[in-house]
Amino acid sequence: MKILAVLLCTAALGGCSVFSKKPAPTPAAAPASAPAATALNTTPAAPAKADKSDGKGGFLPPGESGNVAIDSIVVVVNDDVITQRELSNRIKTVTARMKAQNVQMPDPADLRRQLLERMIVERAQLQMAKEMGVRVDDLQLDRSISRIAEAQKLTVQDLRNQMEKDGTPFAAFREEIREEIIMQRLREHEVDSKIQISDAEVDSFMAAEKAAAAEQFEVNISQIMVRIPDNATAEVIAQRRARAEEVMRQLRTGADFAKMAATYSDASDALEGGVVGWRQPERLPPVFAEALVKLKPGQVTPIIKSVGAFHILKAVDRRSVAEAQAAASVQQTHARHILIKVTPTMSAADAKRKLTELKERLDNKAAKFEELARLFSNDGSAAKGGDLGWLYPGDTMPEFEAAMNNLKIGEVSQPVETSFGIHLIEVLERKSDDVSKERERNNARQAIRERKLEEASESWQREVRDRAYVEYRTDDGNNVNK
């Protein structure tokens, strides 16, 4: 398993990434103790007294008589340096990552140039953070690494073992994370806190969104789903397709869609006539969206095959998003869930059996929902007892929402399958709420903020780079200031 290919960001050559920072300096780089004993605006002095020098910024160990440097200074950044060893390590790490992700490699010279520039910006930011007293102690670092491991469904020890197996020292990884947190906090102080959004900007954004919404639409969908069992043979898959084709044959001869759903569908909404509700096509899997955009109200799609089922969708009705937004009120549901994800070691059938056992414990008052969620749920809401907060229509997957809407307050569902895994759902509260102007404005403000943050962050990084004293050391012994 290439753990770095999962953990490290694909945008390693530009922008900031939690894992795209420099490796911790290796002991071999220690002799470069004073390459930049220079002041910010003066030419750096020669390296501190080394036993021997190759005349190019490299160092030879005492007693050696050859002319081969074991390390050298590539760039001086303010009062720090980037060594050839550090640059080579970064090139090696990024090259391995790009190959693991099947990303086409750039020309070696271009890769070196881009990575070196990225390292210069990082080094300048870390120096600024140090001057401002930004620190991350070991306890904070341990908590962050625990969350990274948890996101990968690993223990910290498992994460450590797999990274070291892939050739990444865990100590170096810890320092990468520490530096990323430091730089993130610096950006929050220097950029995030200074973002200002005026009411006029919000008004303009909302007007543009309203104009765009007039061209967007959503479809009221019903579905019939014929499930394909786990590890099904070709013969079983053919049988399930034949079942879907029989449904389609009856629909073409005038059969009622809701009756066909109640008779043949394996979805949790089958007994409700397969009703899914209003959905914007772009919020659905592409294979569904492509079929739905072609339908007029009352029409059905051809048979659609997904990973685990055959689907037939019906466009019950169609309306513009602007019409939907004009609705006077919506129902909000306060819900919580327990999610068990389907993995190579946890089949859908096993997950359903486990959740059925948990539901029996809940029905018998032998356990509390929040306790079981903390113990068994594979979702980020587990720490909050599975609490998902207040949900608006469209906030969850169609199968989840349909099952949730059919529950009474305080009732726990049977296991519900979605593309995320298998769920137990409990409804805590419901309320009808006007789609208030304040909520719309808050959403608009957040969208503007995200856009401004991206632009401001890029501008700030350029400023940090421009303010830094940078001196490139060349192979011929000459220095170039930029």
| Mean pLDDT, residues 372-382 taken together | 93
Predicted pLDDT of residue 119 = 92
pLDDT of 251 reads 94
pLDDT of residue 371: 94
pLDDT attached to residue 16 = 37
In tens, the pLDDT along 152-206 reads 788 889 889 988 887 778 888 898 899 989 988 888 888 887 888 898 998 888 8
Residue 384 has a pLDDT of: 93
Span 111-117, mean pLDDT?
Answer: 90
Give whole-number Cα distances, 164 to 143, 147, 159, 160, 170, in Å: 20, 19, 9, 6, 6
> Chain-wide mean pLDDT for the chain?
80
Q: Which residues contact 158 (CB under 8 A, 6 or more apart)?
A: 149
> Nearest 5 degrees, angle CA 471-CA 474-CA 477?
105
| For residues 131-143, average pLDDT | 89
- What is the Cα Rg of the chain in Å? 29
Provide the token pair at 291: 């079929």
Using left for φ > 0, alpha for ψ between -120 and 50, and beta otherwise, residue 386 falls in: left
Residues 400-423 pLDDT 10s: 999 999 999 999 999 999 888 999
pLDDT score of 471: 92
- pLDDT for residue 213: 64
pLDDT at 398: 86
pLDDT tens digit sequence for 226-283 = 999 888 899 999 999 999 999 999 999 999 999 999 999 988 788 888 998 888 887 7
Q: Which helix (H) or strand (E) holds 470?
A: strand 470-473
Half-sphere exposure (CA, 13 Å, Cβ side) for 351? 24
Give the type of residue at 207. Answer: A
434 pLDDT tier (thresholds 50, 70, 90): low
Residue 44 has pLDDT above 50, yes or no: no
| Segment holding 472, helix H or strand E | strand 470-473
Region 18-27: mean pLDDT is 36
Residue 428 clears pLDDT 70, i.e. is over it: yes
Q: Is the pLDDT of residue 430 over 60?
A: yes
Looking at residue 195, its pLDDT comes to 85
Residue 219 CA to residue 12 CA, distance in Å, equals: 39
Closest CA to 424 of 479, 330, 481, 361: 361
Quick one: pLDDT at residue 282? 75
pLDDT classification of 59: cutoffs 50, 70, 90: very low
Give dist(CA 333, CA 409) in Å, integer.
9
pLDDT at 118 over 50: yes
Q: Could you tell me which residue, 310 or 286, shows the higher pLDDT?
A: 310
Nearest to 119 by CA among 92, 84, 82: 82
**pLDDT confidence of residue 21:** 36
Does 476 have pLDDT greater than 60?
no
Percentage, residues of the chain above pLDDT 70? 80
- pLDDT above 80 for 317: yes
Residue 247, pLDDT score = 94
Residue 325 has what pLDDT? 60
pLDDT value of position 26 = 37
Q: Tell me the DSSP string of 156-186.
A: HHHHHHHHHHTT--HHHHHHHHHHHHHHHHH
Position 33: which residue type?
S
pLDDT at 48 over 60: no
Q: What is the mean pLDDT of residues 46-59?
A: 41
Identify the pLDDT of residue 239.
94
Least confident of 3-12, 320-329, 384-393: 3-12
| Better-scored residue on pLDDT, 83 or 93 | 83
What percent of the chain is modeled with pLDDT above 90? 33
Residue 465: pLDDT band with limits 50, 70, 90: confident
Q: What is the pLDDT of residue 328?
A: 44
Q: At residue 359, does pLDDT exceed 50?
A: yes
Q: Is a pLDDT exceeding 90 seen at residue 387?
A: yes
pLDDT reading at 481 higher than 80: no
